[in-house]
Structure 1
Amino acid sequence: MKRRKELLEKHPYKIWRGKDEFWHTYLPNGNERKPIKKKEKKAIEEAVIEFYKNQEEIFIEDVFNSWVTQKYEYKEIQKQTYDRYKTDFIRFFKDSSLYKKDIRKITEEELEEFIRKTINDKQLSNKAYSGLRLLIIGIFKYAKKHKYTEISITNFFGDLELPKKCFSKKVVLDKDSVFTDMEVEKICSYIKENESLINYGILLTFQTGLRVGELCTLKYSDIHGNKLSVRRTEIRYKDENDNYIIEVRESPKTDAGNRDIILNSNAQKTLKEIRRLNPFGEFMFMRNGQRIKEKAFGNKITKICQYVGIKERSMHKARKTYATKLINGGVDESLIIKQMGHTSIDCTKNYYYFNNKTDEEAAMQIERAISY
């Protein structure tokens, strides 16, 4: 509404209703003026607004900001997703040839060149490219809806052919992705000798595969016999002053994340130790009356790795270790999906399943398997 008002105030000619019952005004036409008329006042105002909009340059950043703000205001995305889209936009577009170009003048050839150059220059993986693609689709669908472009982005990507070899392939080593059985034993021994809420939280992650955002928002009311209900997670986003806000969201990361995890006997014992150390807190993990945040667990597992003399790994690697143990243990795939909060076993096997054997253990397995 503010923008509409600004554009109407910019109009130098009077808008009036004539004896013919039509609304009249003029539009600039070079050194002259062009008369127009409409039946409704709103219609002639829209014509004036559209005229001045078309005189201005509409940068791709303007369209992006309108699109992402609309999605956030309509609650189609959470604040942390909004922040991630903003960060990705700067990463992909800030120094590009399209950044300061009127979106109405961008051709399909220029858009394709931008995509190929960005993939090559920034050495994007297929996963990183999917983030770029998501932004382009959102921006150009919004632009087409508001008549800023004639490009049908759906057809554009349908015709776009990108060979697999153009994407950067990051080599992920098994030893960097999961903990070996021996390493887990070292961590467990350290935790049992150094009791603390944070340490027991790390142990619980190895025993349940919880996401760290789920872990740090657990309450005792989530325990139901041998099951643990996952119903919330920690979120982080920036406020209007660019300061980070950390909150508890009363829903998990994904719809599949809303689940009841089966606890084995060791996990149940760990929960009893947690309650012993913090019997009355609102959350299971609290320190000085405040909830222990996700970052604290990440920092602590790094220090534990250093102390026991193993390669530093994150809390997420503990979750991947749990998934690997379930698969190696022959647990039914339908149960693995439920425990992990995934939608399919393919997700678990493709991104969470790694060889957690030492070189010596792997060599022994091969020796036993190949007897000829």
Structure 2
Amino acid sequence: MEAMKREELLKKHQYKIWQGKDGKWYTYLPDESKKDGRRLIKRTTEKGIQGTLEDYYKKFEQIQKVTFKYAYDRWLEAHSISFNSENTLVKYRTDYERFFKGSDIEFMDIKLFNEENVKSFIISLCKEKKLAPKACKTLCGYMRNTFKSAKIHKDIPENPFENLETKQFYQYCTRKVKTPEQRTISNHEFKLLYEQFHLDYEKHPDYIPTYAVEFASLTGFRVGEISSLMWKDIQNGMIVVNKSEKYNREKKEYWIGSTKNGKERYMPLTDEIINLLMRIKAVQKKYGFDSEYIFANENGRIHAPVISSCAKNKCKQIGIPYKSIHAYRRTFSSKLKCNGVSTTVVASLLGHTEEVNEQYYTYDITEMQDKRLMVGMVTKDIINTQVLKEENRLPIKKGNQR
């Protein structure tokens, strides 16, 4: 086997090997520093000169070798220019650790990949790590793009993923199926939650995260959007949603960025939302929480994880399964649809991603007053699931609404 490998390496040598009159063995090796691009070497024996050539071409082969890791890093570096957030780059690196680090393919020569061993790797990983279809789709995307990049750089003649489809691997995935009851909040659960909210308002009226969770139930906003909401965003009978809290996992810092889809949207104010905002304003005034942010206390703006933790704690207090802020969002969306609101209007109100809007190829031309009626049906429905204590409500002042 070694002899065959040696013979294969020596075939790459383009210069003549000869024995001189002095009995020494000679040949040339490539050397760009020399005028003619080569340098003369000599050894005492033919075996010695063959050994030198073998060492040279082995090192050359290693230098020329493009591993999967190298190809992935090169693709990621080129692709990262399009990232809007540092967290996206962190995610790609974290996913690499999850899917590829320490695997058999990490330092495998990119030329050795073919459709069969790529398919085998994905199936094995799906089974071993019990990947959900969404994670499998992410994995396949990384591999497809890494090979595509390698082809562009002429490391490989063909993309071994080209004839494979992501969905063919879903049968090997672990599906974590949740019922609608687990993903949303029932009317009975809303009743219990609101009873707990008002109990908290009596005992700890200055605890702002509880108000933020109630606000989530009335708007369906994302937790980062709630955390970054400012009083100046309440205008002309609407809530303007144009930012969201972000967290840089590398720097461990919070910052305010754009919404998930990068677009501004508007949520009409209903009586129930106005009442909640007035209660929050009264609490901030009473306890001296002077802030431009709606959800802030003596220490400043309330961060998204604190709001999420509060939502979890409310469920624990009343003895129901954990309902995330996103569960409030799903429920709000579902209630809108159950009240006959079109998917397009729901997408407009909740700020769904471009993919959702493009899927329906329609545009939202509904007047804000009509949206107010639609949202009002939902907020009234949520509030009516429990008995409000009048002392916790402030009179509603009608502002300039359109």
TM over 0.5: yes
Provide the residue aligned with 1:25 in structure 2. 37
* Match for residue 294 of structure 1 among 304, 324, 328: 304
- Is the 2:213–2:307 Cα contact (8 Å) retained in structure 1? yes
Quote the offset at 1:262 in angstroms.
2.0
Residue 93 of structure 1 contacts residue 99 of structure 1 at CA under 8 Å; is this kept in 2? Answer: yes
Q: CA deviation at 1:152?
A: 2.3
How far did residue 26 of structure 1 move?
A: 3.2
SS at match of 2:333: helix
**CA 317–291 in structure 1, closer or farther in 2 if over 3 Å, else same:** same
Partner of 1:63: 71
Report the equivalent of 1:234. 245
Q: Is the 8 A contact 1:204 1:267 kept in 2?
A: yes
Larger of the two Rg values belongs to structure: 2
Indicate if the aligned counterparts of 1:67 and 1:138 stay in contact, CA closer than 8 A.
Answer: yes
Match of 1:89 in 2: 96
Q: CA deviation at 1:88?
A: 1.4
What does residue 33 of structure 2 align with? 15
Q: How far off is 1:52 after superposition?
A: 5.6
Within 5 Å, which residues of 2 pair with 1:206-221? 206-221=217-232
TM-score (norm 1): 0.73
1:92-107 correspondence runs (5 A): 92-107=99-114
Superposed, 1:129-148 pairs within 5 Å as 129-148=136-155
Are 2:346 and 1:336 equivalent residues in the alignment?
yes
CA distance in 2, matches of 1:216, 1:107: 48
**TM-fit CA distance, 1:163:** 6.0
CA contact (8 A) 2:280 2:294 kept: yes
C-alpha contact 1:281 1:289 (8 A) present in aligned 2: no
Which residue of structure 2 lines up, in the alignment, with residue 315 of structure 1?
A: 325
Task: Write the distance in 2 (CA, Å) between the matches of 1:175 and 1:237.
Answer: 33
Q: CA deviation at 1:209?
A: 0.4
Q: After TM superposition, list the pairs within 5 Å mapping 1:148-163 onto structure 2.
A: 148-152=155-159, 155-157=162-164, 162=168
What amino acid sits opposite 1:146 in the alignment?
Answer: H
1:195-251 CA-to-partner distances (Å, cap 9, x unmatched) read 332111111110000000111011111112321111111222333xxx5332211x1
Structure 2 residue 188 is matched with structure 1 residue 182: yes
State whether residues 125 and 168 of structure 1, in contact with CA within 8 Å, keep that contact through their aligned partners in structure 2. yes
CA apart distance, 1:308: 2.1
The size of the alignment, in residue pairs, is: 308
Shift of the 136–306 alpha-carbon distance from structure 1 to 2, 3 Å rule, reads: same
Structure-2 change in CA distance of 1:137 and 1:77 (3 Å): farther
Secondary structure in structure 2 of the residue aligned to 1:278: helix
Higher mean alpha-carbon deviation, 216-225 vs 193-202, is at: 193-202
Going from structure 1 to structure 2, the CA distance change for 1:328 and 1:161 (only over 3 Å counts) comes to closer
CA–CA separation in structure 2 for the residues paired with 1:310 and 1:303: 10
Deviations 1:64-121 (A, max 9, x none): 223223333x243521111111111111112422112122322232112111222222
Match of 2:115? Answer: 108
**Aligned-CA RMSD value:** 3.0
User: How far apart, CA to CA, are the structure 2 residues paired with 1:265 and 1:92?
Assistant: 49
- Find the aligned partners of 2:265 and 2:84 in 1 and give their Cα distance: 22
> Contact 1:231 / 1:258 at 8 angstroms: preserved in 2?
yes
1:226·1:268 contact (CA, 8 Å) conserved in 2?
A: no
Q: For residue 153 of structure 1, report the CA deviation from its aligned partner.
A: 5.5
Query: Contact 2:126–2:172 at 8 Å: present in 1 too?
Result: yes
Alpha-carbon shift at residue 63 of structure 1 (Å): 2.2
Structure 1, unpaired ranges of 5+? 1-10, 19-23, 34-50, 349-372
Instruction: Assess, with a 3 A threshold, how the Cα gap between structure 1 residues 284 and 264 changes in structure 2: closer, same or farther.
Output: same
Q: What does residue 264 of structure 1 align with?
A: 270
**Which of the numbers 300, 304, 308 marks the counterpart of 2:314?**
304
What's the % identity of the aligned pairs? 21
Indicate the SS of the match to 1:15. Answer: coil
Secondary structure of 1:157's counterpart equals coil
Secondary structure of 1:155's aligned partner: coil
Q: Distance in 1 between matches of 2:311 and 2:194?
A: 11
Give the whole-Å Cα distance in 2 for the aligned partners of 1:61 and 1:154. 16
**Structure 2 contact 132–176 (Cα < 8 Å) conserved:** yes
Q: For residue 40 of structure 1, what is the aligned residue in structure 2?
A: none
